[in-house]
Amino acid sequence: MTQHILAVDDEPHMLKLLERIVEEKTPYRITTTSNSLEVPGLLERHAFDVVVTDLKMPGMDGLDVLQTVRERGRGEQVIIITAFGTLDSAMTALSSGVFDYIIKPFKKEAFLFSLHRAMRWVQKQREVEGLQAIFETEPYEEAREAFDREYVRRLRQRASGDVAALAERSGMNPGQLEELLQD
Amino acid sequence: MAEGRARIESEQIFQRIVEQATDLIYILDLDLRVVWLNHHAVTVFSELLAPGSRRVLPGGEERTSFFVGRPLAELFHPEDVAFVRRKMNEVVVAGDSVSYDHTITPHGEQTHFSTKLIPIRDDAGRVTQILGITRDVTEARELDQRIYNAEKLASIGILAAGVAHEINNPLTIILGFTDLLKERFSPDAQEYKDLELIEYNANHAKEVVQQMLGFARVTEGMHDQVDVASSVQTVTSIVRHTLANRKISLHVEIDEELPSVAGDPREYQQVLFNLVNNAVAAMSRGGVLTVRAKGRAGWVDVEVEDTGVGIPDRCKPRVFDPFFTTKRVGEGTGLGLSLCYGIVRKYGGKIDFVSTSTEDHPGEPGGSTFTVSLPVPDGDRKGGP
């Protein structure tokens, strides 16, 4: 599933630059808005992995955006990119849970480095949460089913071949395997 | 009898008040002759006398009688006397008091006075004499000026931060798209070279903004103490290697047991680094760079001396002005020394220089010495007052 970025900055040209960088240099999708007040609605309608935002904007500022994201608790990581870099604001942002803090003008490599790190983090986080969900499923039978489904899904990702080959490799019952593969 | 004594006592009280007042109180007649003056007026008038009158000024008790009855024209400079006459005429014409400020420079130092001239009338209501009350407002004025400067610096700080933010955004966009465009051309292409030129200049603008932010942040530095010896050693060890390449020999002399001064070590090192850089730039064909750290009563001085081309007389007044630079475009922003000045002044210190330029004195060796003096906080003075 393609990872998705939300970029927020009141300067449209900046958004164009970020779009360009992401489209040319990364496999991710990007949605942009120059109106920070649209952020809550956008967070609702789409599934984002990383939110990139400016600090000083009319309407909601960067820290407001950060707070909104954290309160919704869907796990998006926030990167702040700002021209208004002071030690104080960086420390405030970082201790409020921002993933990274980049000062303009920035080298695109620095931005990409931070972006990739954030994406990897989110991916790992979601994976852990997914696995956690399986273990916390009740009753036991349903948890077992969830485990089996996930097990087979990953098996098919890492191994090639038809049902018979997979069954032999894993030692699973072919009938059961066939059924789980239908999902 | 008792009434008489009460009146005498009351008079004596008033006399004492007037005599011991720290304002100048005096009475002039309409010919600008001194009719009467209080003790403080005697003291201050004595200091402000024109040279000719100063020579004949008696000492001690006779001073007051020296002034009484004497016209101002015999005491002070003609322009000052003319000034007072004009003001007095205003009083007479308006029939009301007149207030004004004036500045006198008796011995090269400015003294600011605030004066009120009040008409004294006879029984018929005519103005016959002028009562003058003058106050020395020099200290108050200087305090105001210092507050004003501090506020101005603080507001420049806020302004600069805002401007920097405004400029950094478009700069980011310029640099960002230039970077992306560059990737579409091979390094030999003309377009690539043109883009590099754009990038270079945008980066220069970025540096100016950063320096300006540094200047603006002068008011934000963390107050601390500076171990001067250690700062000098840090800076000189950083530059030591580059100096060898440029045929510049380095001498460092640091007094033993130098006390700490008030300041932020990073800012202090920034100042020293700036001065050293300037010294190196002045010695493009090599030379000698000497850095000395010396202590004297209540102060620590650091001198940065070079044997370079020196600062021409025509440039000397502007050396600490922001954006004043004699370097070519791209070599420097001209903010360095104004930044140093701001930092040093912030901690109550002084920065000054002497310089002989080869431009003004061809054929003679040139060179400059910049001296940064910072005060030692009271609790830390070592080795005597």
Q: What is the pLDDT of residue B332?
A: 56
Mean pLDDT, chain A, as a whole number? 90
Determine which of B101-110, B138-147, B272-281, B291-300 has the lowest per-residue pLDDT on average: B101-110
Size of interface A-B (CB pairs under 8 A): 46
Please compute, for residue A93, the number of CA atoms within 13 A of its CA located in the half-sphere on the CB side.
29
- A84-88: long-range pairs with CB below 8 Å, 24+: A84/A55, A84/A56, A84/B161, A84/B165, A84/B168, A86/B161
B102, pLDDT greater than 50: yes
State the nearest Cα–Cα gap between B198 and chain A, in angstroms: 15
Question: With 70 as the cut, is the pLDDT of residue B355 above it?
Answer: yes
| B311 against B8, higher pLDDT | B311
Cβ-nearest to A17 among B165, B166, B173: B173
Does position A179 have pLDDT exceeding 60, yes or no? yes
Is there a contact between B164 and A17 if contact means CB atoms under 8 Å apart?
A: no
How does strand A4-8 pair with strand A29-33? parallel
Residue B330 pLDDT more than 60?
A: no
Of the listed ranges A97-106, B226-235, B245-254, B374-383, the least confidently predicted one is B374-383
Task: Give the chain A residue whose CA is nearest to the CA of B178.
Answer: A17
Question: What pLDDT band is residue B46 in, cutting at 50, 70 and 90?
Answer: confident
Task: Give me the mean pLDDT over the A49-54 stretch.
Answer: 96
Chain A residues within 8 A of B167 when measuring between CB atoms: 83
Lowest mean pLDDT among A10-14, B48-52, B96-100, B136-140: B48-52
Q: Which range, of A86-90, B174-178, B267-271, averages the lowest pLDDT? A: A86-90
Q: What is the model's pTM?
A: 0.53
Measure the N-to-C terminal CA separation of chain A; round to a whole number of Å: 17
Burial (CB count within 10 angstroms: exposed 0-12, middle 13-18, buried 19+), residue A135: exposed
pLDDT bin (cut points 50, 70, 90) of residue B383 is very low
**Interval B143-151 mean pLDDT:** 74
Segments in chain B forming alpha helices (H): 2-20, 39-48, 51-55, 62-67, 78-94, 138-182, 190-216, 228-245, 265-282, 336-346
Q: What average pLDDT does the segment B220-237 reach?
A: 77
The residues, any chain, with a CB within 8 Å of residue B256's CB and separated by 6 or more, are none
Of A20, A56, A106, the CB nearest to B172: A106
Tokens representing B260? 């700490």
Within 8 A of A15 by CB-CB distance, chain B residues are: none
Mean pLDDT throughout B348-357? 91
Q: Are strands B287-296 and B261-262 parallel, antiparallel or unpaired?
A: unpaired
Distance from CA of A176 to the nearest CA of B (A): 52
CB neighbours of residue A35 within 10 Å: 13
pLDDT of the residue at B106: 63
Give the pLDDT of residue B265. 80
Question: Would you place residue B135 in the very low, low, confident or very high pLDDT band (cuts 50, 70, 90)?
Answer: very high
User: Which residues of chain A have a CB within 8 Å of the CB of B180?
Assistant: 17, 20-21, 24, 108
Residue B385's pLDDT band (cuts 50, 70, 90)? very low
**Chain B partners of A26 at a C-beta cutoff of 8 Å?**
none
- Interface residues of A toward B, Cβ cutoff 8 Å, are 11, 13-14, 17, 20-21, 24, 56, 83-84, 86, 104-108
B384 pLDDT exceeds 50? no
Please write the tens of the pLDDT for every residue from A84-112: 767 677 778 888 889 999 988 899 999 99
Statement: residue B328 has pLDDT above 70: no
The answer to whether the CB atoms of B180 and A20 lie below 8 A apart is: yes
Query: What is the mean pLDDT of the segment spanning A10-14?
Result: 93
Contact A104 B168 (CB under 8 A): yes
CA distance B334 to chain A (A): 22
The band of B379, judged by pLDDT with boundaries at 50, 70 and 90, is: low
Do A104 and B179 lie within an 8 Å CB cutoff?
Answer: no
ipTM over 0.90: no
Q: What is the dihedral of CA A138, A144, A150, A155, to 10 degrees?
A: 170
Per CB-CB distance under 8 Å, the chain A contacts of B206 are 105
Residue B375 vs residue A90, higher pLDDT = B375
- Find which of A15-29, B112-126, B204-218, B312-326 is predicted with most confidence, using mean pLDDT: A15-29
Q: Which amino acid is at B361?
A: H
Mean pLDDT for B266-270 is: 81
Chain B residues with a Cβ under 8 Å from any Cβ in chain A: 161, 164-173, 175-177, 179-180, 202, 206
For residue A73, the model assigns a pLDDT of 86
Q: What pLDDT score was predicted for residue B75?
A: 87
Q: Do B180 and A21 touch (CB under 8 A)?
A: yes
Q: What is the pLDDT of residue A183?
A: 64
- B58-62, B182-186, B366-370: range with lowest mean pLDDT: B58-62
Average pLDDT across chain B, whole number: 84
B309-336 average pLDDT score: 73
Q: Do B165 and A14 touch (CB under 8 A)?
A: no
- Kindly list the residues from chain B whose CB atom is less than 8 angstroms away from the CB atom of residue A108: 176, 179-180
Q: How confident is the model at residue B64 (pLDDT cuts 50, 70, 90)?
A: confident
Confidence of residue A64 (pLDDT cuts 50, 70, 90): very high
B42/B65 Cα distance (integer angstroms)? 10
Which phi and psi angles does B147 have, rounded to 5°?
A: -65, -45
- Asked if residue B108 has pLDDT above 70, the reply is no
- Six-digit token pair at A39? 């952020």
Which of the two residues, B139 and A118, has the higher pLDDT score? Answer: A118
Task: Confirm if B168 and B209 have CB atoms less than 8 A apart.
Answer: yes
Phi, psi angle pair for B25, to nearest 5°: -125, 130
State the DSSP code for A152.
H
* Confidence band for A21, pLDDT divided at 50, 70 and 90: very high
State whether B179 and A105 contact (CB < 8 Å): no
